[in-house]
Amino acid sequence: MAKPRVVVLDDERRMVDVIAMVLGRDGCDVRGFGDAAAALAAIERDGCDVLVTDLRMPELDGVEVLRRARALSPELPVILITAHATVGTAVAALREGAFDYVQKPFENDELRALVRRALDVTRLARENRYLRAELKSRFAPESVVAESARMREVLELVRRAAASRSTVLVTGESGTGKELVARAVHYGSDRVGGPFVAVNCKALAEGVLESELFGHERGAFTGAERTRAGLFERADGGTLFLDEIGEVPPEFQAKLLRVLQERAVRRVGGSDERAVDVRIVAATNRDLRSEVAAGRFREDLYFRLAVIPIQLPPLRERREDVLPLARHFLERWRAELDRPSLDWTPEVEDALVRHPWPGNVRELENAVERGAVLARGERITLDDLLLESPDATRNTERGDVTAHATRASDDAAAPPAAILRDHLDRATREHLERVLAQHRGRRGEAARALGVDRATLYRLMRRLGLEATGD
């Protein structure tokens, strides 16, 4: 690991040498200067983690050095060295952005502690920049796997929407990636430094939803023992993702509309309104126009949300994306399972392309995971995928009620390929229990008998809630 770089500036050479010796013992790469121009040139050329500078110097004083150094590197912590007579000037420099100051004569340990704290700030700022860049890269539209022309058009719309501050409504069937789009809008915008807060509106009852979104005051209702900020306030300066917005009850829709119009919230039990700076991205698998026509969704709220509408196509309508997505998920599981040579047979590839994917990208992701986990060798077979037949699957977003009723009545007669996931899990659990019992709970021996490695067996056991004794 590279040593932290500290630039020391003082017109007294002896002071520079003393500070360099003290900080050098702490593992710092210290570069000392008696001339402000040379120090600033070094910062511009080589970078710097902390600048320690005297406040009073003949050419440029420490405050001017501070201004110029932060113009070169806005996040650079600057520590000022000051005499008692210039403490007031040092305090004023703090308002200019100085990290802190140390007063002459100072203890070596005092300066060392101050520099260590400044280096922590530099490290955290660097990590923050890296994480922001990683998040932006991960959720950027260009990072989304998409080969089809239709999906590329959607991503271009996402890219343009991200550059604005307008409200976005993302629609599409379950599993098409609506939250991924919401994150791409956030991380592609100038709000990337703010929070991304997501809430599933369907998962909360109306009373709870109001408290969760708007917050509440202490004593507002039974159990409200303390004041709590809502998600609108927590998302201030960032993006609030309202998933399943079509499930919000009509009574609450009016309250939500008012908040979106006024850009202010009133906590439950409170009287004051609090201004919030929040970008809204909403999502639903319902046809909100039909909901408006049926009187179940407010028309004014719909138009307030659908400033920029983004419709995600189902996977069956963009089959060019199936194999690229599947390979993307397979690569992830190769790393997760530490099986770099894992692949699938030609029959699997053909089945992936032909399958209708009623569960969309989420179903495809689950199928690849299942195949990777259950594969006995280095090739995933068709049996490992355990794909449900098209007749046994359901697409609730298309309102396939008749097919749903048929499955419910004919479930007992379904062919092996149509066994539902719970039946599969039960059969897998029973088989693992038998093998573990045969080997007296010794998971290493059981894994060898099953033809999988220990890590794969452990993951299956955790997912199925199995416990075992032994190694």
DSSP letter assigned to residue 55: S
Evaluate whether residue 43 is within a structural domain.
yes
User: Strand (E) positions, 314-354?
Assistant: 343-344
Among 313, 340, 365, the domain-final residue is 313
User: CA angle 367-373-379, nearest 5°?
Assistant: 85
The model carries a pTM of: 0.59
* Cis-peptide into 313, omega within 30 deg: no
Residue 468 — pLDDT band, cuts 50, 70, 90?
very low
CATH code: domain of residue 104: 3.40.50.2300
Provide the percentage of residues in the chain whose pLDDT is more than 90: 52
In terms of domains, do 284 and 357 share one?
Answer: no
Strand partners, 242: 199, 282
User: CA angle 323-148-146, nearest 5°?
Assistant: 65
In terms of domains, do 227 and 303 share one?
Answer: yes
For 368, counting Cβ atoms within 10 Å of its Cβ (0-12 exposed, 13-18 middle, 19+ buried), the class is buried
- pLDDT of residue 286 exceeding 60: yes
Evaluate whether residue 470 is within a structural domain.
no
Evaluate whether residue 335 is within a structural domain.
yes
Which residue segment(s) compose the domain that 326 sits in?
A: 316-464
Residue 29 — pLDDT band, cuts 50, 70, 90?
very high
Q: What is the 3-state secondary structure (H, E, C) of 3-38?
A: CCEEEEECCCHHHHHHHHHHHHCCCCEEEEECCHHH
In terms of domains, do 158 and 285 share one?
Answer: yes
In terms of domains, do 287 and 335 share one?
Answer: no
In terms of domains, do 275 and 400 share one?
Answer: no
Whether 329 contacts 371, CB under 8 Å: no
**CA–CA separation, 90 and 69 (whole Å):** 16
For 29, counting Cβ atoms within 10 Å of its Cβ (0-12 exposed, 13-18 middle, 19+ buried), the class is middle
Among 115, 133, 151, the domain-final residue is 133
Region of 305 on the Ramachandran plot (φ > 0 left; ψ -120 to 50 alpha; else beta): alpha
Among 133, 156, 172, the domain-final residue is 133
Strand partners, 314: none
Evaluate whether residue 469 is within a structural domain.
no
pLDDT digits (tens, 9 = 90+) for 140-169: 555 678 889 999 999 999 999 999 999 999
Evaluate whether residue 420 is within a structural domain.
yes
Query: What is the average pLDDT value for the chain, to the nearest integer?
Result: 84
pLDDT digits (tens, 9 = 90+) for 383-416: 999 887 655 444 433 444 333 333 333 444 444 4
**CA–CA separation, 286 and 190 (whole Å):** 30
153: CB partners within 8 A, 6+ apart:
none
pLDDT digits (tens, 9 = 90+) for 296-331: 999 999 999 999 999 999 999 999 999 999 999 999
In terms of domains, do 218 and 281 share one?
Answer: yes
In terms of domains, do 256 and 355 share one?
Answer: no
Whether 79 contacts 52, CB under 8 Å: yes
Q: Give the pLDDT confidence score for residue 445 in this predicted structure.
A: 81
454: CB partners within 8 A, 6+ apart:
443, 444, 447
Q: Give the pLDDT confidence score for residue 413 in this predicted structure.
A: 42
Region of 51 on the Ramachandran plot (φ > 0 left; ψ -120 to 50 alpha; else beta): beta
In terms of domains, do 169 and 122 share one?
Answer: no
In terms of domains, do 296 and 328 share one?
Answer: no
Evaluate whether residue 181 is within a structural domain.
yes
pLDDT digits (tens, 9 = 90+) for 182-226: 999 998 888 888 899 999 999 888 778 999 999 999 888 888 888
Region of 186 on the Ramachandran plot (φ > 0 left; ψ -120 to 50 alpha; else beta): alpha
CATH code: domain of residue 328: 1.10.8.60
158: CB partners within 8 A, 6+ apart:
141, 181, 184, 185, 188, 310
Q: Residues 6, 12, 14, 19: what is their CA dihedral angle, to the nearest 10 degrees?
A: -20
For 140, counting Cβ atoms within 10 Å of its Cβ (0-12 exposed, 13-18 middle, 19+ buried), the class is middle
pLDDT digits (tens, 9 = 90+) for 265-282: 999 999 899 999 999 999
In terms of domains, do 442 and 336 share one?
Answer: yes
Give the N- to C-terminal CA distance of the chain in Å, as an integer: 38
Number of domain units in the chain: 3
- pLDDT of residue 429 exceeding 90: no
Residue 91 — pLDDT band, cuts 50, 70, 90?
confident
In terms of domains, do 291 and 157 share one?
Answer: yes
Provide the percentage of residues in the chain whose pLDDT is more than 70: 86
CATH code: domain of residue 149: 3.40.50.300
In terms of domains, do 287 and 358 share one?
Answer: no
- Pick from 361, 369, 321, 368: nearest CA to 145: 321
